[in-house]
Amino acid sequence: MAKKVALIFGVTGQDGSYLSEFLIKKKYIVHGVKRRSSSINTQRVDHIYQDPHESKKNFILHYGDMTDATSISKLISMIKPNEIYNLAAQSHVAVSFEIPEYTANADALGTLRILEAIKFHGLEKKSKFYQAGTSEMYGKVQSVPQNEKTNFYPLSPYGVAKLYAHWITINYRQAYGIFAANGILFNHESPRRGETFVTKKIVSALCKIKVGLQKKLFLGNISSKRDWGHAKDYVVAMWKILQQKKPDDFVIATGKQYSIKQFVNLVCKEIKLDITWKGKGLREKAFSKDGKILIECDNRYIRPLDVNTLLGNASKARKKLKWKPAHNINQLIKDMVSAEFKSIN
């Protein structure tokens, strides 16, 4: 039987790298789209590319950009993939307040560009499409926990752009019969998480503080709560969404919620770093045993608007996809901490 062919936009990101590994294990030929940058941006997938046992024919990288319709269209018509995963995005919520127009271009119109290319090249029946939707679309949450029926109320340019992507995916499914599906994924993390997302920033700083390589960690709103899973588990859900008989939209989450402060405390417990919190609100600080300030708030990390609480209900995915997360928060933290110590030793 001919191998299935997948095309991943955003292959160099956290999820793109885990999804590539997963699909290659499933014997797919994986084409990935990377964008041009002045320094190397393929670190997360270099080990796949350089694996001597892995034929280079199974993992092929191409240049392209979500803001460039020509490159997207050319790749889709040339590769004619069975499955397209749109994981490419300006994915940082705080940054989306700084570059809202670019965020809309890459995250909202970029999705439209892929869907248009599928239609334009007559691949409606050949290429299934996965859109990387997000719990940020719930923003100011309209009910707790959030599921596929919960109304959206995005609170950032990123959330608004992703909401356009969500609805244009449904629109192209209904209008043109494309197998186009949305995953509505809650926060998921890993050792490969970008350095400026809060979990990675916390793990990295606290491990360095533990071994004396860093003095302090500055954070923003530590009372906000998230439903954190492991990226390795979430890419499995993406694939399962495209293996369904009919295209549909699914919430992917753990159903457990922790504040940023609780996450800090769990990491401290894992690495045996004693801290004591004192103060309230933005003045709250964490001190070491000998009275040094280890963590404090910096206004630079406070967003114009923040999503204060997110908690997902993934019962539809559990039932229809037979998906459930294999990692809990402690296993996630263990994985991140052990990778961090390896990288600094």
- What does the buried/exposed string (b/e) look like for 109-145 if buried means 16 or more CB atoms within 10 Å of the residue's CB? bbbbbbbbbbbebebbeebbbbbbbbbbbbbebeeeb
Which residues share a beta bridge with 267? none
Residue 303 binds ligand F7E (CB under 6 A): yes
Residue 226 binds ligand F7E (CB under 6 A): yes
Distance CA 160, CA 90 (A): 13
Distance CA 239, CA 160 (A): 25
Residue 198 binds ligand F7E (CB under 6 A): yes
Q: Choose from ligand F7E, ligand NAP, none: what does 12 bind? Cβ within 5-8 Å by kind.
A: ligand NAP
Q: Which of 18, 28, 130, 158 is catalytic?
A: 158
* Residue closer to ligand NAP (CB basis): 165 or 286: 165
Residue 221 binds ligand F7E (CB under 6 A): yes
Tokens standing for residue 84 = 């397209």
* Residue closer to ligand NAP (CB basis): 185 or 209: 185
Q: Prior bond to 100 cis, omega within 30?
A: no
Q: Are 10 and 33 in contact (CB under 8 A)?
A: yes
Residue 67 binds ligand NAP (CB under 6 A): yes
* Residue closer to ligand NAP (CB basis): 187 or 221: 187
Task: Candidates 64-72, 87-95, 167-175, 285-293: pick the segment binding ligand F7E (CB under 6 A).
Answer: 87-95
In sequence order, the 6+-apart residues with CB closer than 8 A to the CB of 135 are: 146, 184, 185, 186, 187, 227, 251, 253, 310, 312
Residue 134 binds ligand F7E (CB under 6 A): yes
Smallest distance from ligand F7E to CB 265, Å: 14
Distance CA 8, CA 14 (A): 12
Tokens 């995963």, located at residue: 85
List the one residue from 20, 187, 199, 313 that touches ligand NAP (CB under 6 A).
187
Q: Are 133 and 166 in contact (CB under 8 A)?
A: yes
Tokens 């240049």, located at residue: 63
Q: Are 25 and 6 in contact (CB under 8 A)?
A: no
Smallest distance from ligand NAP to CB 41, Å: 4
Active site residue 111: no
Active site residue 199: no
Q: Which of 21, 83, 136, 340 is catalytic?
A: 136
Distance CA 141, CA 152 (A): 7
Residue 230 binds ligand NAP (CB under 6 A): no
Q: Are 129 and 86 in contact (CB under 8 A)?
A: yes
List the one residue from 65, 136, 249, 340 that touches ligand F7E (CB under 6 A).
136
If phi over 0 gives left and psi between -120 and 50 gives alpha, with beta otherwise, what is residue 320?
alpha
* Residue closer to ligand NAP (CB basis): 172 or 234: 234
Q: Choose from ligand NAP, ligand F7E, none: what does 93 bind? Cβ within 5-8 Å by kind.
A: ligand F7E
Residue 204 binds ligand F7E (CB under 6 A): no
Residue 194 binds ligand NAP (CB under 6 A): yes
By CB under 6 A, name the binding residues for ligand F7E.
91, 93-94, 134-136, 186-187, 196-198, 201, 219-222, 224, 226, 260, 301, 303, 306-307
Q: Active-site positions? A: 134, 136, 158
